[in-house]
Every structure is written in structure tokens, then in C-alpha cells.
């Protein structure tokens, strides 16, 4: 073999270390992806359970609030009806307005503080930062 043939032949043969390093990198990427998917699925399950628990508690609270509202309405109507039917209705309207305002405020507070899939997003952010740092 002459020098040109050897030079061309040595350039076309890949380095054995490059192939194994690429395979290890691909395996690590797959392991990271698998971990992120498992974390995502776990958080989806936790979110579903939290939503179901919140729905059931909200339903129970609504039923008891309705019963309490009916009892308070009857008590106010009975106590104030002879004095002034209009005052009784205005007092009830004021109580209902305050209750609705408090409930709206609490729901708005929950909505603002809600974070969906926080751990998954944090881990993906860390992965991106690590890749950016290592690829520079």
C-alpha cells in the first residue's frame, strides 16, 4: 500500500472510542428521558388525586354551606319579617354577597398560586441548563 491509500483508509475507519462514547451518551440520554417521563407520570397522578380531593371537599363544603344558608335565611326571615320584610331580604342579600365575595377571593388566591407539574418543569430546566453548559 502506498501512503495515499493508507491515509485515505485511516480516515474512513471510525475511531473505536468515538462509537462507544456515542453509544454511552445515547444510553444516558435515554435514561434521563425515562426518568423525566416517570416523574411526569407521577406528577400527573398526584395532580389528579389533588384535583379529585379538592372537588370532593368543595362538594361537601357546598352542601353544608347551602344547608347553613337555608337555616340562616329562615332564621333571619322569621326574626325580621314582622319588623320589616324588606329589611329581612336586604340582610339576606348582604350576607350572600359577602359569602360570594369571600369564596371568589379564595378561589382566585388558589388559582394564582397553582403550579402544574412543578418538579418535572424544574428538572427539564436543569437538564437544559446542563446541556447548554456542556455544549458551549
Q: What is the tens place of the pLDDT at every residue in 57-88?
A: 989 988 998 898 889 888 888 888 888 888 88
How deeply is 82 buried, as exposed, middle or buried, from its count of CB atoms within 10 A (0-12, 13-18, 19+)? exposed
pLDDT higher than 70, residue 1: no
18-68 tens-digit pLDDT: 777 787 777 888 888 888 888 888 888 888 898 899 899 989 988 998 898
Report which of 121, 71, 115, 78 is spatially closest to residue 95, judged by C-alpha positions. 71
What angle in degrees, to the nearest 10, is found between the helix axes of 85-113 and 16-80?
Answer: 170
Q: Are 36 and 122 in contact (CB under 8 A)?
A: no
All structural domains of the chain with their residue ranges: 3-135
Residue 82: phi and psi, rounded to 5, are -70, -35
Q: Residue 110 has which C-alpha cell?
A: 388558589
Cα(28)–Cα(25) distance, integer angstroms = 5
Alpha-helix residue ranges (DSSP H) falling in the chain: 3-12, 16-80, 85-113, 118-135
Least confident piece of the model among 2-6, 55-59, 123-127, 131-135: 2-6
Secondary structure E strands in the chain = none
With cell 462509537, the residue in question is 19
Amino acid at each position: 500500500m502506498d501512503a495515499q491509500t493508507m491515509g485515505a483508509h485511516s480516515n474512513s475507519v471510525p475511531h473505536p472510542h468515538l462509537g462507544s462514547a456515542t453509544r454511552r451518551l445515547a444510553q444516558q440520554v435515554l435514561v434521563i428521558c425515562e426518568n423525566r417521563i416517570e416523574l411526569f407520570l407521577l406528577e400527573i397522578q398526584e395532580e389528579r388525586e389533588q384535583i379529585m380531593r379538592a372537588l370532593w371537599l368543595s362538594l361537601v363544603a357546598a352542601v353544608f354551606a347551602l344547608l347553613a344558608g337555608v337555616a340562616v335565611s329562615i332564621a333571619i326571615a322569621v326574626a325580621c319579617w314582622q319588623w320589616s320584610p324588606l329589611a329581612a331580604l336586604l340582610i339576606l342579600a348582604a350576607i350572600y354577597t359577602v359569602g360570594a365575595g369571600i369564596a371568589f377571593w379564595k378561589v382566585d388566591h388558589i388559582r394564582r398560586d397553582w403550579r402544574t407539574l412543578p418538579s418535572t418543569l424544574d428538572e427539564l430546566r436543569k437538564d437544559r441548563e446542563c446541556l447548554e453548559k456542556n455544549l458551549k
